[in-house]
Amino acid sequence: MTEPTAPDETLDSIGTAGVRVLQRRNGYRFTLDAVLLAHFAASENTGAPRPILELGAGSGVVSFLLVKQFNLGPVDALELQPAVHARLQRAVVLNDCETRVKPLLGDLRRIRELVPGGHYAHVVSNPPFRMANAGVRSPDDERAVSKSEVACDASDVVAAARYALTPGGTVSLVYPASRVAEVLGLLTQAKLYPSVLRFVHSRVGSPATRFLVQALRDRDRGLVVRPPLIVHGEAPGGYSTEVAALMDPPLAERVSPLSGDTGD
């Protein structure tokens, strides 16, 4: 049977639960950040499945991993770009997730028009990392919106999460390590109090490249800093044991490692 891809698309597998995502062959493509965020969101939240909102869902990697690999959800997956959203809709069918992942088309800056306030127990986002005025903007609009803060910035993401969360609900984010003070400050100002922080390092002894953070709406229970997450090591694919356990071996050959770009 021929896979349902357009000439400019690829159908890629990720994780240990048979997740498949559609991506542009020469366009913006997810990176390991999406896998690490899904794992972080799942590992720090246990209990019965509860409604989740993903802000900036892109190809749906995080949403699909949450429901298929980590048995969380259901997930409402909000995406701004119509073409990306259309691929996400098709991927929902490919992953048999029609009752578990609901694609939404819209701008998170207009979140009040899209979803009910105070509805979600958990909000996750792998947002654009690069500030709008940092570096040269990609001439490809899809890349530019996914990588740079041209359509939303960190304060917009935090405000949307605050609106969508139930009291005591959790938001999980991934950002460059260089922005840790800024993002933690924005969260605290919004009364989303950081509760868990974990820095991501490419290798043992190397500087942190990313950080993962969870925060609670209206509840300040203090901050726990987890041990560093090391990406590369001696496990299959050149990954650390922890990271290799999150994916099938072929993923190591296809997923971009942590770099200046981010994944959806």
pLDDT score of 142: 55
23-57 CB burial, b ≥16 within 10 A, e <16: bbeebbbbbbbbbbbbbbbbebbeeeeebbbbbbb
Top-confidence residue, 7 or 155: 155
Percent of the chain scored above 90 by pLDDT?
68
Closest by Cα among 127, 69, 128 to 101: 69
pLDDT score of 204: 95
pLDDT band at 231 (very low <50, low <70, confident <90, very high): very high
Structural domains of the chain sorted by starting position, each given as residue range(s) with its CATH number in brackets: 9-172+180-187 (3.40.50.150)
C-beta neighbour count of 14 within 10 angstroms: 27
- Indicate if the pLDDT at residue 249 is higher than 90: no
Q: What is the pTM of this model?
A: 0.87
Q: What is the pLDDT of residues 108-159, one digit of tens each?
A: 999 999 999 999 999 999 998 766 565 555 555 555 455 545 568 999 999 9
pLDDT score of 216: 97
